[in-house]
Amino acid sequence: MTSVNKKEIDKFSKIANEWWDPEGKFKPLHKFNPIRIKYIKESIINNFKLKNKSKPLCGINILDIGCGGGLLSEPISRMGANVTGIDASDKNIKIAKLHSKKSKLKINYLCSSPEKLKIKKKFDVILNMEIVEHVEDLDFFLKSCSKLLKKNGLMFVATINRTLKSYVFAIIGAEYILRWLPIGTHDWEKFVKPEDLNRILTKYDLSLNNLNGMNFDIIKDEWSISKDLSVNYIGKFIKN
């Protein structure tokens, strides 16, 4: 079995050179990054009761799945975490390795999917950010992720809800009207409802701790955490 959707990997490999261009095809992720970094950082600090002010995530072992070019891995690493970033696209991993070298950061980047990861240690935190809507078999993917997480560890999942509003905003709006994303980036049928995500993760010993919406304010040109789950949302789960 595999969680890798070759069509999706090919799609992102073709634009891999643009990962670090804030005005390129990944511009929405660059805008999205500050709010998700803040959410992840605060959740980890509270959960593990961390006290280091200069390196707030010092000593925490984090696996960033579907890390792309390292947009999330790098800032998390700067906060002191031991980061492993995996992606099924070899091109993405090459870009990520090159950029982390320039940034003088020690991040363990590997071309792999979670089910093929050859690492014996388990992680304190797993990040599944904007990845579950691109995998081949969601149940198998999340089962494989759960095996890599320590007891009482945290798993973050950020994705897009499957609603009429998400079709209008995330596909028609973002891809066809605003051209924030290349046309065909998302497939509405692969969007994941929060209740479906929770149902699968419950099977694999993960309990929902928190669920928040992530909304974009066009006037302020920024993202914020909200209670509206109808389009983008992020869930925090704890391994039982």
- The pLDDT score that the predictor gives to residue 1 is 87
Exposed / middle / buried, residue 116 (Cβ in 10 Å: 0-12, 13-18, 19+): middle
What pLDDT score was predicted for residue 182? 85
pLDDT digits (tens, 9 = 90+) for 40-56: 999 999 999 999 999 99
Choice among 116-120, 135-139, 149-153 with the minimum mean pLDDT:
116-120
Q: How far, in Å, CA of 117 to CA of 57, rounded?
A: 23
| Domain presence at residue 143 | yes
Per the model's pLDDT, the better-predicted residue between 172 and 178 turns out to be 172
Q: Please give the pLDDT value at position 45.
A: 98
Q: What is the mean pLDDT of residues 153-178?
A: 94
Average pLDDT of the chain, as a whole number: 96
Structural domains in the chain (count): 1
Across 57-66, average pLDDT: 98
195 inside domain: yes
Whether residue 1 lies inside any domain: the answer is no
Tell me whether residue 90 is in a domain: yes
Query: In this predicted structure, what is the pLDDT of residue 108?
Result: 98
Instruction: Report the interhelical angle of 194-203 vs 138-147 (nearest 10°).
Output: 50
* Angle 131-136-20 from CA coordinates, rounded to 5°: 30
Region 77-103 average pLDDT = 98
Separation CA 101–CA 167 (nearest Å):
38
- Specify the pLDDT at position 178: 80
- Residue 164, Cβ density class (10 Å: 0-12 exposed, 13-18 middle, ≥19 buried): exposed
- Of the candidates 90, 81, 83, 125, the one whose C-alpha atom is nearest the C-alpha of residue 16 is 90
- Which domain, by its residues, includes 168? 6-239
Domain assignment present for 169? yes
Quick one: what percent of the chain has pLDDT higher than 70?
A: 100
**Residue 86: strand pairing partners:** 65, 110
Q: What is the mean pLDDT of residues 3-16?
A: 96
- Encoded tokens for 64: 């960033």
Confidence of residue 179 (pLDDT cuts 50, 70, 90): confident
Domain annotation covers residue 11: yes
**In the predicted model, is pLDDT for residue 174 greater than 90?**
no
In which band, very low, low, confident or very high, does the pLDDT at 26 lie, cut at 50, 70 and 90?
Answer: very high
Q: Return the pLDDT at 218.
A: 84
CATH no. for residue 52? 3.40.50.150
Three-class DSSP category at 216: strand
Rounded to whole angstroms, the Cα distance separating 112 from 90 reads 8
Any domain includes 202: yes
Nearest to 197 by CA among 237, 149, 230: 237
Note the pLDDT of residue 180: 81
Is pLDDT above 90 for 181? no
Asked whether residue 128 is domain-assigned, the answer is: yes
CA distance linking residue 167 with residue 146, whole number of Å: 29
Cβ neighbourhood burial of 221 (10 Å; 0-12, 13-18, 19+): exposed
pLDDT > 90? residue 207: yes
Whether the full predicted model's pTM is greater than 0.85, yes or no, is yes
Residue 232 burial (10 A CB sphere; 0-12, 13-18, 19+):
buried
Compute the average pLDDT of residues 167-191: 90
